[in-house]
Amino acid sequence: MNAENAGRVLLIDDDEVFVHVLGRALVTRGFEVAMARDGSGALARCADFQPSHIVLDLKLGAESGLALIPRLTAARPAARILLLTGYASIATAVEAIKRGAHDYLAKPVDADQVVQALLGNATAQPATAGDALPDAPPPLKRLEWEHIQRVLNECDGNISEAARRLGLHRRTLQRKLAKRPVREVPQR
């Protein structure tokens, strides 16, 4: 695949090492790559680079990638937006799609997964017996994580307001948010 066929990708993430590694991998797969570390830099790069694809992190330091999606969509309506996050939840995935993202992937991801999502070629793999979800409901900790994410999104990321709505102390909520979500299917 050559650069003319792959397109231009704008990587927006505050993790410099991740952006550098992913950027190199995308260049080897035929993409032209530009990088930004925050919202204002992303909008500036979007205007001068004119990307056909945008890879955006959910957390950009103090900024929220969710809040940036509509502004990026307004700046480049034809660009395909992929949201990446290390804090995956159903609530944030739904909110990202509502705001205009085309796809959503949980970190860690490899470059091939990113390319498939950017090109809209994410083909579902047939489930095998070992991959089937159990009939049991998700773990309670996972449900708690989903609920916290949903309330946090309703509060536009305001931790104090979310803690008040959840009936938690703000520091308790911050500790819960610092933890990774529980996996739905145990690793083998």
Q: Of all residues in the chain, what percent carry a pLDDT higher than 90? A: 7
Residue scoring higher pLDDT (100 or 133):
100
Residue 137 pLDDT grade (very low, low, confident, very high; cuts 50, 70, 90):
low
Give the architecture-level CATH label for domain 132-178.
Orthogonal Bundle (1.10)
89-99 residue pLDDT tens:
777 788 888 88
What pLDDT does 54 receive? Answer: 92
Coil/strand/helix, residue 23 = helix
What pLDDT does 140 receive? Answer: 63
DSSP state of 172: H
The mean pLDDT value for 99-108 works out to 84
Q: Hey, where are the domains in the chain? A: 3-119, 132-178
Residue 50 backbone dihedrals phi, psi, to 5 degrees: 55, 60
Please, what is the Cα angle at 39 between 116 and 44, to 5 degrees?
Answer: 90
Range among 28-37, 81-90, 130-139, 144-153 rated most confident: 28-37
CATH of 3-119, one of 3.30.420.40, 3.40.50.2000, 3.40.50.970, 3.40.50.2300: 3.40.50.2300
Residue 131 pLDDT grade (very low, low, confident, very high; cuts 50, 70, 90):
very low
| Tokens 């979310």, residue located | 162
What's at 24, amino acid-wise? R
* pTM score of the predicted model: 0.64
- Residue-wise DSSP of 87-113: S--HHHHHHHHHHT-SEEEESS--HHH
What pLDDT does 125 receive? Answer: 38
Residues whose CB is less than 8 angstroms from the CB of residue 80 and which lie 6 or more positions away in sequence, other chains included: 52, 53, 54, 102, 103, 118, 120
